[in-house]
Amino acid sequence: MHRIKIAGAVLNQLPLDWQGNQQRIIEALEQARARGVTVLCLPELCITGYGCEDAFHSLGVARKALRSLAEILPHTQGLVCALGLPFAVRNALFNAIALVVDGTLVGLVGKRFLAGDGIHYEPRWFKRMPADTFLQVEALGKDVPFGNILFDVGGIKLGFEVCEDAWVANRPGQELSFCGADLILNPSASHFAFGKVNIRRQFVVEGSRSLGLTYLYTNLVGLEAGRVIFDGGVLIAHNGRMAAAGPRLFFDEVQLTGAVVDIDEGRMLRQRTVSFDPNMGSSPLRVVEADFSWPENPLSGPEDNQLADHTLQHPRFKELEFTRAVALGLFDYMRKSRSRGFVVSISGGADSAACSVLIAGALRLAAHDMGFDGLRQRLAYLPAAAEVESVDELIPRLLTCIYQGTENSGEVTATAAREVAHALGAEFHHVSVQSLVEGYSQLVEGMLGRKLSWQQDDIAMQNIQARARAPGIWMLANVRGALLVATSNRSEAAVGYATMDGDTCGGISPIAGIDKNFLRSWLCWMEVEGPPELGACPALAYVNRQQPTAELRPQAEHQTDESDLMPFDLLDAVEKAAIRDRKEPLEVFEALRPGFEERFGVRRLGGYVAKFFRLWCRNQWKRERFAPSFHLDDENLDPKTWCRFPILSGGYREELAALEARLAEL
């Protein structure tokens, strides 16, 4: 037997936080040594942070990354360690992995396949490393190999697939296996998306089986640069079996997951496999040797070989992921921006209630994961954190909810806002902005020389109510140094059902990446069950029993969001077909007929489809101005990271005419 103890470290890093990133790396190294780990894999670009964006173009960033690597080296004694950093070769920048053995840099490997679709822009900053790359480069005052390398470390051979390398058909792992690799390390910066963990588990386990070796995957965790959430989750597979799986979406900054694996088992498996066809001739892969004495009889501790992740089989898995992902994003956004809490304009409706629940949940989940002392230490920059003894005392210091009513607001929403805020433990205020609305209205009436009316000025009279709520709550957030939370959801963003400089005001828009239909379902689940760490919030019944409404028209009109737009389940279906699947209006209509024609009829269904496309084109300028939001899935509408669309366009005139012609035939 040739047993070794390996581990992946998940880190919560911050772009260009040289001291903080280095400190967390060193903490991971110390934990690894204390737990008897020999091989430690850290995430992709962990030294600089993954989300440095165009700062990667600065020559100083790569230089500082090497300086940081030099300062980390003394802490790697006795370890085989992989660290990610940008590395420049011949005036080209590579997304590289440095292999350090017992305190010595022995070589660097560049990423072969760059992530350049969706939210990723790696080809903007990095060059892909060709498969035939191998040369000596100067690093830390000496020549070291850089290229497509298989490392022979004390008789055990290991190589790399860097994040995207494992997601492509022609993955480098095949060549590594054919050339005798025992272990593949995958340092990643893989963003969170609903259900994505199942894909990762599949390629890790299948990779270890088909390649006949041990496969170790690690990742970043937390909201790193402001929009992208990383979910962590170390995965270790050995010869087609999952050996260890680490926690995901946790609030700690450093988390190790390890396993003891028998290298000889993989070697024997390949010898017995008829289809294994090793490369006996030339290969672009070069072997670099490094001396290392492997410890004998490594021991597995109680923290190793953790496999249970019961959430994967939970019937409300998406709800669990949503709660933890957005809560983690909000927590990290607050502390990394050094903000002093959150302010929410709580309307008594679903969106602002969801934001408030997620903020309170973020603090409670952080306390659950780290203990209250750990939470208080993480928020040491906040005076309020030092003045309280429990999370219950901390929440009203960091979450303020304000109901801002007008003459069109009703007792139902006022009660819902108050009861939800009190149930969460937030500070709550009920104020009227009616005098502000009247003041603005009178000002404009003086300019127009006439009275405003609902018949002639409907949109303007609705919008002024939403906008009149913004200045005061912005001022309160500024006075307190807190984050103002924008409460618009993705369904509203798609059709522009939001008042710019009204409900879109804020420094963060946490639910702009999720549809209203899901939000309503999630709130119902939170009312009666919720995640195990938080439990239910029965006060949400005050929200859930209402029909969603902007409550901006006179109450006698019984305004609802769905009467202004269309039923939310249909809106969600149209949006998916039109934006995610890129179908034209007629194609959307035909795709939705089987599910919705009986309910709405062809004319009404076609009218809703046409309405969506007209509103979508008309409101791109609003989506361009939304506060930063979190990426949650491939239905994201954020034009800065995912879904680009022209602000000015032809508005689908020809395509809508084709839809109208089809409707005339039916």
Residues 44-58 pLDDT 10s: 999 999 999 999 999
Q: How far is CA 109 from CA 164, 366, 372, 483, 640, in A?
A: 14, 36, 41, 41, 31
Between 549 and 590, residue with greater pLDDT:
590
Q: In which residue are the tokens 């600089």 written?
A: 48
How many angstroms separate the CA atoms of 535 and 361, rounded?
10
Average pLDDT over residues 488-496: 94
Q: Where in the chain is the domain with CATH 3.60.110.10?
A: 3-311
Instruction: Give the pLDDT confidence of 171-193 residue by residue, as tens digits.
Output: 999 999 888 999 999 999 999 99
Instruction: Determine which of 289-303, 406-420, 600-614, 615-629 has the lowest per-residue pLDDT on average.
Output: 289-303
Task: Provide the pLDDT confidence category of residue 518 given band limits of 50, 70 and 90.
Answer: very high
- Pick 3-311's CATH classification: 3.90.1150.110, 3.40.50.620, 3.60.110.10, 3.30.420.40: 3.60.110.10
> Which residues fall within 8 angstroms of residue 369, CB to CB, at 6 or more apart?
250, 251, 252
CATH number of 314-433+469-547: 3.40.50.620
Average pLDDT over residues 521-530: 98
How far is C-alpha 432 from the geometric centre of its chain's CA atoms? 37
- Pick 567-666's CATH classification: 3.90.550, 1.10.10, 3.30.70, 2.40.160: 1.10.10
Answer yes or no: is pLDDT of 310 > 70: no
Task: Provide the pLDDT confidence category of residue 169 given band limits of 50, 70 and 90.
Answer: confident
Other C-beta atoms closer than 10 Å to the C-beta of 346 total: 31
Between 276 and 122, residue with greater pLDDT:
122
Q: Where in the chain is the domain with CATH 3.40.50.620?
A: 314-433+469-547
Share of the chain above pLDDT 70, in %: 97
Instruction: Give the pLDDT confidence of 144-166 residue by residue, as tens digits.
Output: 999 999 999 999 999 999 999 99
Other C-beta atoms closer than 10 Å to the C-beta of 69 total: 22
SS3 191: strand
Instruction: Give the pLDDT confidence of 211-246 residue by residue, as tens digits.
Output: 999 999 999 999 999 999 999 999 999 999 999 999
> What are φ and ψ of residue 542, in 5° steps?
-65, -30
Task: Provide the pLDDT confidence category of residue 309 given band limits of 50, 70 and 90.
Answer: low
How many angstroms separate the CA atoms of 297 and 647, rounded?
64
Tally the C-alpha atoms within 13 A of residue 621's C-alpha that lie toward its C-beta: 7
Task: Provide the pLDDT confidence category of residue 476 given band limits of 50, 70 and 90.
Answer: very high
What pLDDT shows up at residue 650? Answer: 95
Q: In what order do the strands lie in the sheet with 39-41?
A: 134-139, 142-147, 104-110, 92-101, 80-89, 39-41, 3-11, 254-262
Sign, CA dihedral 586-587-592-598, equals positive
What pLDDT shows up at residue 19? Answer: 98
Average pLDDT over residues 521-528: 98
pTM for the whole thing? 0.95
Task: Provide the pLDDT confidence category of residue 314 given band limits of 50, 70 and 90.
Answer: confident
Task: Provide the pLDDT confidence category of residue 585 given band limits of 50, 70 and 90.
Answer: very high
Rounded to 5°, the CA angle 109-111-116 comes to: 165
How many angstroms separate the CA atoms of 145 and 96, rounded?
12
Average pLDDT over residues 658-665: 96
Answer yes or no: is pLDDT of 280 > 80: no
Instruction: Give the pLDDT confidence of 26-75 residue by residue, as tens digits.
Output: 999 999 999 999 999 999 999 999 999 999 999 999 999 999 999 999 99
H-type alpha helices, 53-195: 59-72, 122-125, 173-178
436-474 exposure pattern, b = at least 16 Cβ within 10 A, e = fewer: bbeebbeeeeeeeeeebeeeebeeebbbbbbbbbbeebb
